[in-house]
C-alpha cells in the first residue's frame, strides 16, 4: 500500500495547529519571559505553510502558493531563531535578519517570475533553512546556563540535525536529484516531512522543558533573594499566623530589637509575650488589616524583653502560606528618630525666638540710626543763631558735613528698613500702571546734584517703552541705588549711560559706567552677602553695604532678575528685568 503524502501533510498541519495552542498558552502564562511569543508565530506560520501546500492541487491557486509558501516557511524558522535570542535576553540584530530574508525573497521570486527553475528555488530554500537552523543551535550553545544546560544541549543537537537535513537535501539537488512534485512519495520529500514532523515536535517539547526549567530556576533564585532580604533587613521582620498570632518565622534583627531569641518564640503566640505596650492596639490593628488588607507606617509602642519601651513604625500585609492566612509585618525602631524630632521641634522654637530677637534688633538699630539727626539739628541751630558770626568758609564746611551725614544716615536707614521688611515678609507689592521713562528721568533728577559735584554726565536714550504694571516704588528704589553707586564709583568727568529695552515678556534696564569696575571676588559677593564691607567711592564716599542686597531681593519679589558685568578699571554694567504683567479683567 502506497503512502499518501497528502495525508502526512495534513497530519503535520494538525500537529502544528496543536503547537499553536501550546505556545499560545505558554505565551499567555509567561509574559515576563521573552521568546514564547516568537515561537507562537513560528507554529502559526508553519500551520499556514502546510495549509497552502495542500492547496497546490488547485491549478488556479498553484502560482499563488509558490509565491508565498517558501517565504512563510523561512519566516517561521527565523521566528524560532528570534525567539531563542529573546529567550536568552539577547538583542535581535535586525540589520542582519531583514536583509537575509529579503535576499531570499528576491532570489526566490527571480527564479519563479524571471527564470522559472524549481531546482534552484528548492536549493535556495534548503540552504537558507539550514543556515537558520545552525544559527539557532549556535545561539543556544553560546547562551545556555546551568539550570537548563541539559535541555539546551538537547535542543542544540536537534537544530544541528535540522540544519544537516537540509544540507543533505541541498547536496542531493547539486548531485543531480530531480525535484519532483511535493506529493511524490520519494526520499527527497520524505526527508523534509520527517523534519517537520519529528524534529519540529522534538524542539517544541525541548522549548517547553527549557522554559519550565528557567521558571523553576527563577523561582529558586527569588526564594533565595527573599530569604536574604528577610534576614539582612535592618528592620524587624516577623511572620505570624493571623488567627492566633503564632510565630512562624522572624529575622535576626527582630531578636536584636526585641531581645527575644528566635528559639524561644517560634511556635508560640505573640500573646504569650509582652511585646505590645498596649495590647488593645493589636486588636485595633488587626481590625484595620481585616478591612483594607494591610497597614502602613503605623506608630506603635512596643517593649523589649527587659521592659524598655520603644517606638516602632509598623507596616503589615496578609500573605497566604499553605492555604492559611498569615501576617507579614515589618517594624522599624524609630526611637532615635522620635528623639531627633523632639530636638528639632525644640530648635525650631529657639529659632523663632531668635527671629523675634532679630526683628527687635532691627527696630533698635532703626531707632539708633535716627540719633545722628540730633547732631545735625544741633549744627543747624548753631548756624541759625550764629550765621552772621561764623566765617563763610566755616559755615560752608559745616553745611557740607551736615549734608553728607544726613544723606548717608537717611540712605542707610531707608535701606535697612526696606531690607528688614523683605526679611519679615511685611512688604507687599503695590502694583499700578508705571511709565518707565518717567521713573528713570525722576531718578536722574534726584542724583543730578551728586553727579554735577563730580562733573559726571548721565545720559538716557529715551525710547518708546510702553507703560507696564509694576511697583513704582521698587523700580525707583532699585534704579536710585544703582545710579548712586555708579556715581560713587565713577571718576570725575566720567560717563553713566542708562538704557531701557522692551522685550516680549519683560523690560530690561541697564545702568553702565566707565568707573573703577570690580574684581571677580567682589562680583560674587555683592548679591550674596547680607551685609558686606562697602568700598569707598572715588571721592571717598561711604556706602551702606546694603543697597545691592535690597536691589536683588526687590527685583526677585517682582519676579525679575538682576546681574552685573564688570571689569576692573574699565567700568561696570548692572542689568535688571521687570516682568510685563497683564491687566486683570
Q: What is the DSSP letter of 31?
A: T
What would the pLDDT profile of 459-473 be if each residue is shown by its tens digit?
Answer: 987 777 788 898 888
The 10 Å CB-count burial string (b at 16+, else e) for 372-400 is bbeeeeeeeeebeeeeeeeeeeebeeeee
140 or 309: which leads in pLDDT: 140
What would the pLDDT profile of 543-575 be if each residue is shown by its tens digit?
Answer: 444 567 778 888 888 889 999 998 888 889 999
Which residues is 240 bridged to in the sheet? 247, 327
| 3-state secondary structure at position 182 | coil
Judge whether residue 334 has pLDDT over 70: yes
- Please compute Rg for the chain using Cα positions: 45
- The C-alpha atoms of residue 367 and residue 370 are separated, in whole angstroms, by 6
Judge whether residue 153 has pLDDT over 50: yes
- The C-alpha atoms of residue 508 and residue 561 are separated, in whole angstroms, by 9
Segments of 405-502 assigned E as strands: 431-434, 457-460, 468-471, 495-502
What would the pLDDT profile of 25-49 be if each residue is shown by its tens digit?
Answer: 988 988 888 899 999 999 999 889 8
**CATH node for 428-579:** 3.30.565.10
Q: What is the DSSP letter of 582?
A: P
| Percent of the chain whose predicted confidence (pLDDT) is above 70 | 87
Q: What is the DSSP letter of 269?
A: B
- The C-alpha atoms of residue 415 and residue 542 are separated, in whole angstroms, by 14
What would the pLDDT profile of 308-325 be if each residue is shown by its tens digit?
Answer: 888 888 888 888 887 888
The CB-side HSE value for 389 (13 A sphere, CA atoms) comes to 5
Contacts of 229 (CB under 8 A, 6+ apart): none
pLDDT at 431: 86
| 3-state secondary structure at position 571 | strand
Which residues is 15 bridged to in the sheet? none
Contacts of 423 (CB under 8 A, 6+ apart): 358
H helices present in 370-391, as ranges: 372-386
pLDDT at 541: 56
Judge whether residue 532 has pLDDT over 70: no
Going by DSSP bridges, is the β-strand pair 457-460/495-502 parallel, antiparallel, or unpaired?
A: parallel
Mean pLDDT across the chain: 82
The 10 Å CB-count burial string (b at 16+, else e) for 295-315 is beeeebebbbeeeeebbbbbe
Read off the C-alpha cell for 14: 494538525
Q: Which candidate, 161, 155, 162, places its Cα nearest to that of 203? A: 155
Confidence of residue 374 (pLDDT cuts 50, 70, 90): low
Judge whether residue 74 has pLDDT over 90: yes
Rounded to 5°, angle at Cα 343 from 340 and 346? 155
- The C-alpha atoms of residue 267 and residue 265 are separated, in whole angstroms, by 6
- The C-alpha atoms of residue 497 and residue 513 are separated, in whole angstroms, by 6
| Percent of the chain whose predicted confidence (pLDDT) is above 90 | 23
Q: Which region holds residue 245: left if phi is over 0, alpha if psi is between -120 and 50, else beta?
A: left
Read off the C-alpha cell for 384: 541759625
pLDDT at 1: 42
- The C-alpha atoms of residue 384 and residue 570 are separated, in whole angstroms, by 45
pLDDT at 538: 64
How many residues are recorded in the chain?
Answer: 585
Instruction: Quickly list DSSP for 303-336.
Output: E-TTS-EEEEEEEEEEEEETTEEEEEEEEEE-HH
Q: Residues 484-498: what's their mean pLDDT?
A: 89
- The C-alpha atoms of residue 32 and residue 38 are separated, in whole angstroms, by 14
- The C-alpha atoms of residue 450 and residue 404 are separated, in whole angstroms, by 11
Segments of 202-263 assigned E as strands: 236-241, 247-250
Judge whether residue 171 has pLDDT over 70: yes
Rounded to 5°, angle at Cα 107 from 101 and 109? 100
pLDDT at 140: 94
pLDDT at 84: 94
- The C-alpha atoms of residue 77 and residue 165 are separated, in whole angstroms, by 14
What would the pLDDT profile of 173-186 be if each residue is shown by its tens digit?
Answer: 999 888 877 777 88
Confirm if 534 and 542 have CB atoms less than 8 A apart.
yes
CATH 3.30.499.10 fits 233-333, yes or no: no
Phi, psi of 345 (to 5 degrees): -60, -40
Q: Which candidate, 68, 89, 88, 70, places its Cα nearest to that of 78? A: 70
Q: What is the DSSP letter of 55?
A: G
Contacts of 98 (CB under 8 A, 6+ apart): none
- The C-alpha atoms of residue 214 and residue 221 are separated, in whole angstroms, by 10
Confirm if 411 and 544 have CB atoms less than 8 A apart.
yes
Confidence of residue 201 (pLDDT cuts 50, 70, 90): confident
Q: How far is CA 494 from the centre of its chain?
A: 53
Amino acid at each position: 500500500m502506497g503512502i499518501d503524502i497528502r495525508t502526512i501533510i495534513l497530519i503535520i498541519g494538525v500537529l502544528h495547529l496543536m503547537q499553536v495552542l501550546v505556545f499560545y498558552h505558554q505565551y499567555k502564562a509567561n509574559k515576563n519571559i521573552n521568546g514564547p511569543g516568537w515561537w507562537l508565530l513560528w507554529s502559526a506560520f508553519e500551520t499556514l505553510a502546510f495549509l497552502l501546500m495542500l492547496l497546490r492541487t488547485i491549478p488556479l491557486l498553484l502560482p499563488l502558493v509558490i509565491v508565498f509558501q517558501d517565504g512563510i516557511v523561512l519566516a517561521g524558522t527565523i521566528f524560532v531563531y528570534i525567539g531563542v535570542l529573546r529567550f536568552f535576553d539577547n538583542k535581535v540584530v535586525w540589520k542582519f535578519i531583514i536583509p537575509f530574508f529579503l535576499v531570499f525573497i528576491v532570489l526566490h521570486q527571480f527564479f519563479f517570475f524571471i527564470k522559472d527553475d524549481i531546482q534552484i528555488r528548492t536549493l535556495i530554500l534548503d540552504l537558507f533553512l539550514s543556515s537558520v537552523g545552525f544559527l539557532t543551535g549556535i545561539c543556544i550553545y553560546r547562551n545556555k546556563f546551568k539550570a537548563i544546560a541539559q535541555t539546551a544541549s538537547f535542543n542544540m543537537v536537534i537544530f544541528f540535525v535540522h540544519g544537516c537535513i537540509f544540507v543533505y537535501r541541498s547536496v542531493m539537488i547539486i548531485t543531480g536529484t530531480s525535484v519532483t512534485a511535493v506529493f511524490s512519495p520519494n526520499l527527497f520529500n520524505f526527508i523534509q516531512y520527517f523534519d517537520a514532523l519529528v524534529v519540529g515536535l522534538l524542539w517544541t517539547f525541548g522549548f517547553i522543558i527549557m522554559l519550565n526549567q528557567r521558571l523553576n530556576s527563577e523561582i529558586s533564585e527569588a526564594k533565595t533573594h527573599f530569604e536574604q532580604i528577610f534576614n539582612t533587613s535592618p528592620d524587624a521582620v516577623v511572620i505570624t499566623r493571623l488567627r492566633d498570632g503564632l510565630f512562624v518565622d522572624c529575622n535576626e534583627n527582630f531578636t536584636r530589637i526585641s531581645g527575644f531569641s528566635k528559639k524561644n518564640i517560634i511556635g508560640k503566640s505573640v500573646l504569650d509575650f509582652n511585646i505590645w505596650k498596649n495590647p488593645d492596639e493589636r486588636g485595633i490593628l488587626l481590625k484595620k488589616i481585616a478591612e483594607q488588607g494591610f497597614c502602613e507606617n503605623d506608630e506603635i509602642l512596643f517593649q523589649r524583653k527587659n521592659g524598655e519601651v520603644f517606638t516602632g513604625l509598623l507596616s503589615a500585609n496578609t500573605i497566604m502560606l499553605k492555604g492559611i492566612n498569615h501576617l507579614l509585618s515589618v517594624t522599624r525602631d524609630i526611637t532615635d528618630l522620635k528623639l531627633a524630632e523632639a530636638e528639632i521641634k525644640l530648635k525650631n522654637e529657639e529659632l523663632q525666638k531668635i527671629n523675634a530677637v532679630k526683628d527687635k534688633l532691627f527696630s533698635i538699630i532703626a531707632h539708633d540710626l535716627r540719633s545722628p539727626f540730633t547732631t545735625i539739628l544741633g549744627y543747624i541751630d548753631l548756624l541759625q543763631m550764629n550765621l552772621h558770626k561764623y566765617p563763610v568758609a566755616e559755615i560752608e564746611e559745616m553745611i557740607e558735613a551736615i549734608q553728607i551725614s544726613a544723606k548717608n544716615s537717611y540712605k542707610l536707614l531707608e535701606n535697612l528698613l526696606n531690607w528688614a521688611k523683605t526679611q519679615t515678609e511685611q512688604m507687599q507689592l503695590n502694583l499700578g500702571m508705571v511709565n518707565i521713562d518717567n521713573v528713570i528721568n525722576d531718578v536722574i533728577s534726584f542724583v543730578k546734584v551728586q553727579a554735577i559735584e563730580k562733573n559726571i554726565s548721565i545720559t538716557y536714550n529715551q525710547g518708546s517703552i510702553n507703560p507696564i504694571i509694576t511697583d513704582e516704588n521698587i523700580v525707583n528704589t532699585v534704579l536710585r541705588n544703582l545710579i548712586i553707586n555708579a556715581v560713587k564709583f565713577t571718576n570725575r568727568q566720567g560717563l553713566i549711560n542708562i538704557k531701557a529695552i522692551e522685550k516680549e515678556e519683560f523690560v530690561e534696564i541697564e545702568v553702565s559706567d566707565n568707573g573703577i569696575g570690580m574684581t571677580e571676588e567682589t562680583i560674587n559677593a555683592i548679591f550674596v552677602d547680607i551685609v558686606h564691607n562697602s568700598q569707598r567711592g572715588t571721592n571717598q564716599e561711604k556706602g551702606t553695604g546694603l543697597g545691592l542686597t535690597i536691589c536683588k531681593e526687590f527685583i526677585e519679589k517682582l519676579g525679575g532678575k538682576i546681574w552685573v558685568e564688570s571689569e576692573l578699571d574699565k567700568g561696570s554694567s548692572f542689568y535688571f528685568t521687570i516682568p510685563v504683567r497683564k491687566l486683570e479683567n
